[in-house]
Amino acid sequence: MGLEDVELVIAVEEEFGIAIDDSHAPDLVSVGKLFDYTLARIRERGDDLNREIAWTRFVSVIVEQLGVPEDLVVPDAEFVRDLGIG
C-alpha cells in the first residue's frame, strides 16, 4: 500500500468509526468494494446508517483525500486506474 492508500483508509475509518482489516485492504480496489466493505462494518456494529447518507459521506471523504472530481467517484471506479492511487 502506498501513502495515499493508507491515508484514504485512515480517513474512511475515522469518518465512519470502523477498522479496516489490513488483510482485506488489498482486495478493496474499487470505490464500490471499499464502500460495501465500509457499510458492512458499520452494520456489523448495529448501526443502521442509511445507504444514501453513507454514500454521500463516503464520496466526500474520497474527494477530499484524493482531490478528484466528485463525478469520478462511482462504484465501478478503480483506485489505481480511474482515481490514480495505488
Name which residue leads in pLDDT, 79 or 74. Answer: 74
Q: How many Å apart are CA 65 and CA 59, to the nearest integer?
A: 10
In this structure, the number of other CB atoms found within 10 A of the CB of residue 59 comes to 18
Name which residue leads in pLDDT, 1 or 63. Answer: 63
pLDDT digits (tens, 9 = 90+) for 43-73: 999 999 999 999 999 999 999 999 999 999 9
**For residue 12, what pLDDT band results from cuts at 50, 70 and 90?**
very high
pLDDT exceeds 70 at position 11 = yes
Q: What pLDDT, on the 0 to 100 scale, is given for residue 3?
A: 67
Burial track 5-39 (b if 16+ CB lie within 10 A, e otherwise): beebbebbeebbebebeeeebeebebbebbbebbb
Q: What is the pTM of this model?
A: 0.89
